[in-house]
Amino acid sequence: MVVITAFSCSVIPPCLLLTATISVSVLFCGEGAVSMALHGKSHSGGKDDPVVQYVVSHSLREHPILANLKERTLQDKWSVMLVDTEQAQFMGNLMKLIKAKKTLEIGMYTGYNALNMALSIPENGTVVACELENDYVEIARPFFKEAGVESKIDVRIQPAMQTLDELIAAGEAGTFDFAFIDADKLNYDGYYERSLQLVRKGGIVAIDNVLWSGRVVNPAADDLVSQALDALNKKLHKDERIDLSMLTMGDGLTLAFKR
């Protein structure tokens, strides 16, 4: 059942109410995400941080349709969930570096990073994008079309775990180049294990919000999300199947390079 005491959000996004098993695991809009967005993200309160603004004004090269999608997303009441834009750009550069063709977006929301992925891979590349909420997908689709990458993005509107299991059952293990995990936090471990199966050797599993506004440093006894993220961070530190970097960008981004 939902344990709301661990969070400061007074309203739960509709997508959480649609989740098959409603539990704390689906609550990703906790205080951590909110305060991170207010203080850290360049497209929200981060504009008050001169260093963040310096980074943005000296490095962000946003595709015009990504900029339009960001503007549209900022009208949504859950825009706090939007990926950090310079982080998306960084991941796009990583995808180009490893010549990624087949990618996975786990938690698509209004599609900013799915579009970013589609723009970063070749014409014959694919993005499999997992999302629960059709309303978000409807926001995303016109932007995918306008950018001319609609046919590259295969949106699966169902629980992400189901999509990942279906991909594995269909024999697609070892065929993906890049995966980005950004959905419900208590399922991260399951997403990580499946993503690691799905990416090839040398492929990358990127994991968002691994710092959870710093709460992972000393998780409170009733803060199950911070505890889960901390446990995953500790597990990855010892995981011999990967090489690893944890970046302080955005709300914390882990890069797991499959050995």
Ligand X SMILES: C[S@@+](CC[C@H](N)C(=O)[O-])C[C@H]1O[C@@H](n2cnc3c(N)ncnc32)[C@H](O)[C@@H]1O
Q: Which residues bind ligand X (CB under 6 A)?
A: 15, 19, 26, 28, 81-83, 107-109, 112-113, 130-133, 136, 159-160, 182-184
Nearer to ligand X, 56 or 183 (CB): 183
Q: φ, ψ for residue 253 (rounded to 5)?
A: -130, 120
Nearest approach, Cβ of residue 77 and ligand X (Å)? 12
Nearest approach, Cβ of residue 201 and ligand X (Å)? 25
Nearest approach, Cβ of residue 78 and ligand X (Å)? 8
The CA distance from 206 to 91, in Å, is: 8
Nearer to ligand X, 75 or 218 (CB): 75
Nearest approach, Cβ of residue 130 and ligand X (Å)? 5
The CA distance from 225 to 58, in Å, is: 34
Nearest approach, Cβ of residue 84 and ligand X (Å)? 9
Nearer to ligand X, 118 or 199 (CB): 118
Contact 65, 146 (CB under 8 A): yes
Nearest approach, Cβ of residue 211 and ligand X (Å)? 14
In the complex, residue closest to ligand X by CB: 107
Nearer to ligand X, 46 or 159 (CB): 159
Nearer to ligand X, 82 or 95 (CB): 82
The total of other beta-carbon atoms located within 10 Å of residue 52's CB is 18
* Helix spans in the chain (H): 14-18, 31-39, 50-59, 64-73, 85-97, 112-120, 134-146, 160-169, 188-198, 224-237
Q: What angle do CA 248, 252, 258 make, to 5 degrees?
A: 100
* Three-class DSSP category at 135: helix
Nearer to ligand X, 113 or 126 (CB): 113
Only one residue has tokens 């946003």, namely 62
